[in-house]
Amino acid sequence: MVIAAALAGAALLSLAVGARDVPFGTVLHALVNPDPNSTLDLIVTESRVPRTIVGLLAGAAFGLAGAVIQGVTRNPLADPGILGVNAGAGLFIVIAISFFGITSLTGYVWFGFLGAAITSVLVYTIGSIGRGGATPVKLALAGAAVTAALISFTTAVLITDVDAYDQFRFWQVGSLAGRGTDVAVQSIPFLILGAALALYSARALNALALGDDVATSFGQNVIVARLVAAGAVVLLCGTATSMAGPLVFIGLVIPHIARAITGPDHRWLLPYSMLLAPLLLLIADVIGRVVARPGEVQVGIVTAIIGAPIFVAMARREKLAEL
């Protein structure tokens, strides 16, 4: 209840705070009975409501995907990028901009999702080759190799197309600004399906955390469990990345915060991650609007500033634990 109340408060701040602050009373009036002749009402309904909705959806997706990928790889320092989601989405968005002339979010969101899906399937296929199938280490290595190759292809296209680079760099930094409700509406079916698969895989992730042999002895089909979890990550992170850009550290940091509250049980860890991530994302977005008025700092930069020290601390703790 406390986290839900904090999330509601963050959403209200997201609607009220910006280059021009809007009183909370005016925000509530704009939501219930908007006045088309009021500038403040239009700011709320036309700009900040879509931005807040995208923040809620993308944040929940990144947090849930991060918890799932850490569970399926048994790697506490993993994030959704380990499956090449960001790199795949980025390459296909560059292709959409450079070769098809698509510049609108509603146009290239589909390319981003397709690129994330294809790349994740490719990584899983490569990681499944050889003895033992798709082990966590092999998935991580396959993801790193494929990501490096895709980034090279992306860079090759960008250095030959200045217009594509100008369009791509605004998506790459990660932002909630300029996103319309149409982007959110198109993304909702994929996010619902991804969330359903993720929550369904909670028991399987608990079993996988004990090792493949133990999971098999509990009656889990390890291959199917990993495929379901990977499918959830593709749907959630691929769609969220297409919506808001490759926001870093959300999927890495949030599961650790949720785990400190709930413990390792994924039946609780996944829902808490889904609530905490949009809370962090909306707060970061509000901070970005306040620190550089009348301009703003993109939310992807703010999350990187917040997440980088936490990541270093976690990596240090993991290293010390191995000694």
CA 244 to chain centre: 8
pTM: 0.88
The pLDDT of residue 323 is: 46
List the pLDDT tens digit at each of the 323 positions of the chain: 788 999 999 999 999 988 888 888 888 988 888 888 888 888 888 889 999 999 999 999 999 999 998 888 877 777 777 777 888 888 898 888 888 888 776 677 788 778 888 888 888 788 878 776 666 677 778 888 898 899 899 888 888 887 777 777 777 777 888 777 888 888 898 899 999 999 999 999 999 888 878 888 878 888 888 889 888 988 888 888 888 888 878 888 899 899 989 999 999 999 999 999 999 999 999 999 888 778 788 888 888 888 778 777 766 765 545 44
The pLDDT of residue 280 is: 93
The pLDDT of residue 5 is: 93
Rounded distance between C-alpha atoms, residue 195 and residue 206, angstroms: 17
Which candidate, 184, 179, 225, places its Cα nearest to that of 205?
Answer: 225
Rounded distance between C-alpha atoms, residue 78 and residue 304, angstroms: 16
Helices 266-290 & 2-16 angle (0-180, nearest 10): 20
The pLDDT of residue 212 is: 78
308 membership: H or E segment, kind and range: helix 299-322
With tokens 């490759």, the residue in question is: 246
CATH superfamily of 2-174+181-322: ABC transporter involved in vitamin B12 uptake, BtuC (1.10.3470.10)
Rounded distance between C-alpha atoms, residue 205 and residue 209, angstroms: 6
The pLDDT of residue 68 is: 93
The pLDDT of residue 258 is: 92
DSSP sequence for 247-264 = --SHHHHHHHHHHHHH-S
Rounded distance between C-alpha atoms, residue 286 and residue 18, angstroms: 7
DSSP sequence for 171-206 = HHT---TT--HHHHHHHHHHHHHHHHHHHHTHHHHH
Domain ranges of the chain: 2-174+181-322
CA 226 to chain centre: 19
Q: Are 11 and 282 in contact (CB under 8 A)?
A: yes
The pLDDT of residue 66 is: 92
Rounded distance between C-alpha atoms, residue 118 and residue 140, angstroms: 17
CA 38 to chain centre: 34
Q: Are 264 and 209 in contact (CB under 8 A)?
A: yes
